[in-house]
Amino acid sequence: MEVALPEGTVTWRGRGLKSAIDLVFTTEGATNALRNCGPRADLQYGSDHLPVYTEFEWSWESQTPVQRRAWKMLEDKGVATNVRNRAQQLRLSLGLPQIRSAGEADEYLGQMLDGFQAIVQECIPWAKPSSKARSFWNSACRDTMQRAKRELKAYYRCRNTETRETLREAERAKVATIRREKTLCFRGAIHQALEDPRGV
Protein backbone atom coordinates (compact mmCIF):
# COMPACT_ATOMS: atom_id res chain seq x y z
CA MET A 1 0.00 0.00 0.00
CA GLU A 2 1.19 3.51 -0.79
CA VAL A 3 0.07 6.98 0.33
CA ALA A 4 -1.52 8.66 -2.68
CA LEU A 5 -1.48 12.20 -1.31
CA PRO A 6 1.62 14.26 -2.18
CA GLU A 7 4.04 14.65 0.71
CA GLY A 8 3.25 17.64 2.92
CA THR A 9 -0.42 17.87 1.87
CA VAL A 10 -2.56 19.51 4.57
CA THR A 11 -5.96 17.86 5.12
CA TRP A 12 -6.94 19.43 8.47
CA ARG A 13 -6.90 22.96 9.82
CA GLY A 14 -8.16 24.04 13.21
CA ARG A 15 -7.27 26.16 16.24
CA GLY A 16 -4.40 27.72 14.35
CA LEU A 17 -2.90 24.32 13.59
CA LYS A 18 -2.69 22.20 10.45
CA SER A 19 -1.89 18.56 9.81
CA ALA A 20 -2.27 15.63 7.38
CA ILE A 21 -4.79 13.58 9.33
CA ASP A 22 -6.81 12.21 6.41
CA LEU A 23 -4.81 9.93 4.13
CA VAL A 24 -5.55 7.96 0.97
CA PHE A 25 -3.87 4.57 0.52
CA THR A 26 -3.72 2.73 -2.79
CA THR A 27 -2.52 -0.66 -3.95
CA GLU A 28 0.25 -0.94 -6.54
CA GLY A 29 -2.25 -1.36 -9.36
CA ALA A 30 -4.35 1.57 -8.16
CA THR A 31 -1.25 3.77 -7.78
CA ASN A 32 -0.37 3.18 -11.43
CA ALA A 33 -3.89 4.25 -12.41
CA LEU A 34 -3.95 7.30 -10.11
CA ARG A 35 -4.76 10.48 -12.01
CA ASN A 36 -5.22 13.04 -9.26
CA CYS A 37 -5.34 13.10 -5.46
CA GLY A 38 -5.52 16.15 -3.22
CA PRO A 39 -7.72 18.54 -1.23
CA ARG A 40 -10.64 20.22 -3.02
CA ALA A 41 -11.61 23.56 -1.49
CA ASP A 42 -14.69 23.78 -3.74
CA LEU A 43 -16.10 20.70 -2.00
CA GLN A 44 -15.70 22.18 1.48
CA TYR A 45 -18.82 21.85 3.62
CA GLY A 46 -17.81 23.58 6.86
CA SER A 47 -15.71 20.90 8.53
CA ASP A 48 -12.16 21.49 9.73
CA HIS A 49 -11.25 18.39 7.67
CA LEU A 50 -10.60 19.31 4.05
CA PRO A 51 -12.36 17.08 1.50
CA VAL A 52 -9.89 14.91 -0.41
CA TYR A 53 -10.64 14.22 -4.06
CA THR A 54 -9.18 11.05 -5.59
CA GLU A 55 -9.49 10.25 -9.28
CA PHE A 56 -8.39 7.11 -11.13
CA GLU A 57 -7.98 6.51 -14.83
CA TRP A 58 -9.27 2.98 -15.04
CA SER A 59 -10.76 0.97 -17.87
CA TRP A 60 -13.05 -1.87 -16.89
CA GLU A 61 -15.76 -4.10 -18.24
CA SER A 62 -18.90 -4.99 -16.38
CA GLN A 63 -19.12 -8.66 -15.48
CA THR A 64 -22.14 -10.88 -15.24
CA PRO A 65 -22.94 -11.41 -11.54
CA VAL A 66 -21.98 -14.87 -10.35
CA GLN A 67 -24.90 -16.76 -8.87
CA ARG A 68 -24.09 -17.96 -5.36
CA ARG A 69 -25.78 -20.06 -2.75
CA ALA A 70 -27.03 -18.41 0.44
CA TRP A 71 -24.38 -20.15 2.55
CA LYS A 72 -25.10 -17.88 5.53
CA MET A 73 -28.28 -19.89 6.02
CA LEU A 74 -26.07 -22.63 7.48
CA GLU A 75 -25.75 -20.39 10.54
CA ASP A 76 -29.44 -21.15 11.19
CA LYS A 77 -29.64 -24.17 13.51
CA GLY A 78 -32.67 -25.62 11.69
CA VAL A 79 -30.98 -25.51 8.29
CA ALA A 80 -27.70 -26.85 9.68
CA THR A 81 -29.52 -29.74 11.37
CA ASN A 82 -31.37 -30.58 8.16
CA VAL A 83 -28.11 -30.63 6.17
CA ARG A 84 -26.44 -32.76 8.84
CA ASN A 85 -29.29 -35.28 8.81
CA ARG A 86 -29.28 -35.50 5.02
CA ALA A 87 -25.51 -36.04 5.01
CA GLN A 88 -25.94 -38.82 7.57
CA GLN A 89 -28.56 -40.48 5.37
CA LEU A 90 -26.25 -40.20 2.37
CA ARG A 91 -23.40 -41.83 4.30
CA LEU A 92 -25.63 -44.73 5.36
CA SER A 93 -26.98 -45.21 1.82
CA LEU A 94 -23.51 -45.26 0.26
CA GLY A 95 -21.97 -47.39 2.98
CA LEU A 96 -18.26 -48.23 3.00
CA PRO A 97 -17.67 -50.48 -0.01
CA GLN A 98 -14.45 -52.36 -0.66
CA ILE A 99 -12.76 -50.32 -3.37
CA ARG A 100 -10.39 -52.41 -5.48
CA SER A 101 -9.66 -50.17 -8.46
CA ALA A 102 -9.40 -46.57 -9.56
CA GLY A 103 -12.63 -46.96 -11.51
CA GLU A 104 -14.51 -48.07 -8.39
CA ALA A 105 -13.03 -45.14 -6.46
CA ASP A 106 -14.16 -42.69 -9.15
CA GLU A 107 -17.64 -44.18 -9.15
CA TYR A 108 -17.92 -43.97 -5.35
CA LEU A 109 -16.69 -40.37 -5.29
CA GLY A 110 -19.09 -39.48 -8.09
CA GLN A 111 -22.02 -40.87 -6.11
CA MET A 112 -20.87 -38.97 -3.04
CA LEU A 113 -20.56 -35.67 -4.94
CA ASP A 114 -23.95 -36.15 -6.58
CA GLY A 115 -25.44 -36.77 -3.14
CA PHE A 116 -23.87 -33.65 -1.65
CA GLN A 117 -25.00 -31.53 -4.60
CA ALA A 118 -28.54 -32.82 -4.15
CA ILE A 119 -28.41 -31.85 -0.46
CA VAL A 120 -27.18 -28.35 -1.33
CA GLN A 121 -29.89 -27.88 -3.99
CA GLU A 122 -32.60 -28.96 -1.57
CA CYS A 123 -31.43 -27.17 1.59
CA ILE A 124 -29.52 -24.07 0.44
CA PRO A 125 -31.38 -21.71 -1.95
CA TRP A 126 -29.72 -19.29 -4.31
CA ALA A 127 -28.77 -15.98 -2.72
CA LYS A 128 -30.75 -12.90 -3.72
CA PRO A 129 -28.30 -9.99 -3.47
CA SER A 130 -29.78 -6.68 -2.39
CA SER A 131 -28.50 -3.23 -3.27
CA LYS A 132 -28.80 -2.45 0.46
CA ALA A 133 -26.89 -5.54 1.59
CA ARG A 134 -23.99 -4.99 3.98
CA SER A 135 -21.07 -7.32 3.42
CA PHE A 136 -20.00 -7.28 7.08
CA TRP A 137 -23.43 -8.31 8.41
CA ASN A 138 -23.49 -11.83 9.87
CA SER A 139 -25.19 -13.90 12.57
CA ALA A 140 -23.27 -12.13 15.36
CA CYS A 141 -24.58 -8.73 14.19
CA ARG A 142 -28.09 -10.12 13.80
CA ASP A 143 -28.12 -11.71 17.25
CA THR A 144 -26.82 -8.64 19.05
CA MET A 145 -29.30 -6.44 17.15
CA GLN A 146 -32.20 -8.70 18.11
CA ARG A 147 -31.08 -8.69 21.75
CA ALA A 148 -30.97 -4.87 21.79
CA LYS A 149 -34.50 -4.75 20.36
CA ARG A 150 -35.74 -7.19 23.00
CA GLU A 151 -34.19 -5.16 25.80
CA LEU A 152 -35.67 -1.95 24.37
CA LYS A 153 -39.15 -3.49 24.42
CA ALA A 154 -38.57 -4.71 27.98
CA TYR A 155 -37.53 -1.20 29.00
CA TYR A 156 -40.69 0.31 27.48
CA ARG A 157 -42.83 -2.23 29.33
CA CYS A 158 -41.15 -1.59 32.67
CA ARG A 159 -39.07 1.55 33.04
CA ASN A 160 -36.75 1.07 36.01
CA THR A 161 -33.04 1.09 36.84
CA GLU A 162 -32.54 -2.61 36.06
CA THR A 163 -34.13 -2.55 32.60
CA ARG A 164 -32.34 0.73 31.77
CA GLU A 165 -28.92 -0.73 32.64
CA THR A 166 -29.68 -3.95 30.77
CA LEU A 167 -30.67 -1.91 27.71
CA ARG A 168 -27.47 0.15 27.91
CA GLU A 169 -25.38 -3.01 28.13
CA ALA A 170 -27.17 -4.49 25.12
CA GLU A 171 -26.67 -1.29 23.12
CA ARG A 172 -22.94 -1.20 23.97
CA ALA A 173 -22.60 -4.84 22.94
CA LYS A 174 -24.42 -4.12 19.66
CA VAL A 175 -22.18 -1.17 18.80
CA ALA A 176 -19.01 -3.10 19.71
CA THR A 177 -20.04 -6.16 17.68
CA ILE A 178 -20.97 -4.20 14.56
CA ARG A 179 -17.77 -2.11 14.81
CA ARG A 180 -15.67 -5.29 15.14
CA GLU A 181 -17.33 -7.02 12.18
CA LYS A 182 -16.98 -3.89 10.05
CA THR A 183 -13.26 -3.75 10.86
CA LEU A 184 -12.74 -7.42 10.05
CA CYS A 185 -14.64 -7.02 6.77
CA PHE A 186 -12.58 -3.94 5.83
CA ARG A 187 -9.32 -5.74 6.59
CA GLY A 188 -10.45 -8.66 4.44
CA ALA A 189 -11.26 -6.28 1.58
CA ILE A 190 -7.82 -4.65 1.89
CA HIS A 191 -6.18 -8.08 1.75
CA GLN A 192 -8.15 -8.93 -1.41
CA ALA A 193 -7.15 -5.62 -2.95
CA LEU A 194 -3.50 -6.41 -2.28
CA GLU A 195 -3.92 -9.73 -4.06
CA ASP A 196 -5.83 -8.26 -7.01
CA PRO A 197 -6.26 -4.52 -7.81
CA ARG A 198 -9.74 -5.31 -9.14
CA GLY A 199 -10.73 -5.90 -5.52
CA VAL A 200 -10.44 -2.19 -4.69
pLDDT value of residue 180: 93
pLDDT value of residue 115: 92
pLDDT value of residue 65: 72
User: Per-residue pLDDT tens for 35-82?
Assistant: 899 888 888 777 888 899 999 887 767 667 778 888 878 878 888 898
pLDDT less than 50: residues of the chain: none
pLDDT value of residue 130: 64
pLDDT value of residue 113: 92
pLDDT value of residue 162: 92
DSSP string, 107-174: HHHHHHHHHHHHHHHHHSPBP---TT--TT--HHHHHHHHHHHHHHHHHHHS-SHHHHHHHHHHHHHH
Q: How far apart are CA 49 and CA 190, in angstroms?
A: 24
pLDDT value of residue 147: 94
